[in-house]
Structure 1
């Protein structure tokens, strides 16, 4: 087999019951990211090079036809890769549903996936409120994130919003700000708060996080805030 010049995929998790709600799925981990969140658990993927090409990924998916319900496209940031759309189309042709894990920085890609009917579920990471976003993500991508959020709300595509909380970076007032922001935008789904897992390999060396922020009820009349222990 001819080796592909571009290998966008860092690794493949062949089976998961946790990462796609109510579906047996696999995970394709796309290398690289356009944010540098200090708490990120996947520095090897963020800074690493892809090891697998789309032909290898497709061969794997074909071998799981009829066995898996869906595919999770994750990373890193999967929407950075031009291969995402054709690979999603190929997975869809195998009767697999598509879930995208994204930081929301590429709204045009989400729209393109939706136009191709290859966007079945999205997990949208809400990194920080506007006044902390650039500092925590080492990027200036807050506006594209809001565009992605607005598109998903308007589209009717099922999605969830989630935030990883490190107590040295996000405090109770920040989370209340973020919950209010989602309400003002018209979001009515579940908002998941994920406590940072201490003693993890991360992009930055961080102090231990404490769970004091989770003592507050952040739910609103339209948003149910739910606590997850980790990603």
Structure 2
């Protein structure tokens, strides 16, 4: 994906690299100081070694969270089946009609499948959306929450306002303030 608000452009563009040995050494030095490890990105599930890496981190005694856009449901399913996940943050970018505009991808069906895998699982997870007023309106966000509830998601739907205080993949500019009435209350950014 190429979301304009992505705050890790160096990773998405292939410039952020660490060796697995470096990561292992760091984690070993932090045993009993850290409780868990977050696999993020870009998109962590596209890494060809993500499952063995997560498995190694679990063997070290850490809890594991992944931040994912849901584009690789088969990886999420395998991580769940192998009991390797403690928490998932699933990014809900947009409904199908806005998905390309925001992500430059056609991966909505993959996101939907990931959600369908997570809902009946025993893995704790949240759904969240990054909001920029030029990309998503209050009406869009209300439709997204209604769709989520219709799919059976009963958790908190987190909306995170685009801050624009770091370099991102796109030049989005300021996001205008919005007020949104949701099923679970009122959100203001």
When the two chains are superposed, the root-mean-square deviation of aligned CA atoms in Å is: 1.7
Structure 1 residue aligned with 2:78:
112
Name the SS of the counterpart of 2:32 in structure 1. Answer: coil
- Contact residue 180 and residue 188 of structure 2 kept, 8 A: no
Give the TM-score normalised by structure 1. 0.78
After TM superposition, the structure 1 stretch with the greater mean CA deviation from structure 2, 62-71 or 173-182, is 62-71
Alignment partners' CA distance in 1, 2:123 and 2:85? 8
Structure 1's consecutive aligned runs of 4 or more residues displaced over 6 angstroms after TM superposition are: none
Inter-partner Cα distance in structure 1 for 2:126 and 2:142: 17
Match of 2:26 in 1: 60
State whether structure 2 residue 59 is matched by structure 1 residue 93. Answer: yes
Instruction: Tell me, in whole angstroms, the C-alpha distance in 1 between the residues paired with 2:109 and 2:25.
Output: 37
Which residue of 42, 46, 65 corresponds with 1:80? 46
- Cα-to-partner distance string for 1:5-29 (whole Å, 9 max, x where unaligned): xxxxxxxxxxxxxxxxxxxxxxxxx
Please tell me whether the aligned partners of residues 194 and 227 of structure 1 are also in contact (alpha carbons under 8 angstroms). Answer: no
Aligned with 2:106: secondary structure?
A: coil
CA distance in structure 2 between the aligned counterparts of 1:207 and 1:50, rounded to whole angstroms: 25
Q: Which has the higher contact order (CA 8 A, sep 6+)?
A: 2
How far, CA to CA, are the matches of 1:217 and 1:163 in structure 2? 15
Equivalent residue for 1:147?
113
Q: Work out whether residues 40 and 203 of structure 1, in 8 Å CA contact, stay in contact via their aligned partners in 2.
A: yes
Deviations 1:158-186 (CA, angstroms, capped at 9, x unpaired): 00011010000000110011000100000
SS at match of 1:217: strand
- 1:62 CA displacement: 1.4
5+ unaligned residues in a row in structure 1: which ranges?
1-34
Among 194, 200, 204, the alignment partner of 2:170 is 204
Q: Distance in 2 between matches of 1:208 and 1:133?
A: 21
Query: Do the aligned partners of residues 53 and 40 (structure 1) sit closer, same or farther apart at CA in structure 2, a change above 3 Å counting?
Result: same
Aligned partners of 2:188 and 2:6: how far apart in 1?
16
CA-to-aligned-CA distance 1:34-82 (integer Å, 9 cap, x gap): x001121111121133421112211211111222110000111100012
2:181 and 2:187 in contact (8 A); partners too: no
| C-alpha contact (below 8 Å) 2:180/2:187 kept by paired residues | no
Matches within 5 A, 1:1-231: 35-212=1-178, 215-218=179-182, 220=183, 224=184
Q: State the number of aligned residues.
A: 189
TM-score scaled to structure 2, two decimals? 0.94
From the superposition, tell whether residues 65 and 182 of structure 1 become closer, same or farther in structure 2 (CA, over 3 Å): same
